[in-house]
Structure 1
């Protein structure tokens, strides 16, 4: 028995993965004269930021902080519940950033030594509130 997780950075590739995995499993099993049974369940979808919501987040950030205080980050294959919301309604996923640049605040979110600099929490509340209010102005 083999169990695994598949994570992709595009919805198109995610949809193709069951077929691609079956091709590999079938090829390996056939080359050894073995049979197989494949059970594939879709897990978390890919987070797809809505371009209009990215613009709203950018404008809101500049409104609050006076300049562009953020940057794009390298895409991540981490599973994120927020992806399910973005399949239903336009959304934007952003990371607040909660480290001070020292070792104590340099561990990733699910690491046992993760510690955030709580100074950032009001900035997160301000961003979320302002995005919501600005969104309501556009509807």
Structure 2
């Protein structure tokens, strides 16, 4: 969740697909991955970790935001575990620091709702 910029609106369907692709979800009681993800999302909302931004006409959650404190925690833990690194496109980050990360998020200097998340291969 730390890969998202502060106060950004997150499309729930995209977030669920991201969780599935990353392997963060396990099947529970024969439920689909999507159903498990929706249950997790509802739990995060109930704990005020995720904030609903927009609901559909049937009440389903369309978009959300992450609480700033959780985002900060995610960033710290991800960097500590070398899970990912966030950098600007014109940053002077050392290639050594970037090469130790499993993933890197490159953000444009002027943020326009786009970012590139790219998995970095393990060092040989």
Q: So what's the TM-score if we normalise by structure 1? A: 0.23
Higher strand proportion, which one?
2
Q: With CA pairs under 8 Å and 6+ residues apart, which has the higher RCO, 1 or 2? A: 1
Higher helix proportion, which one?
1
**Greater Rg, structure 1 or structure 2?**
1
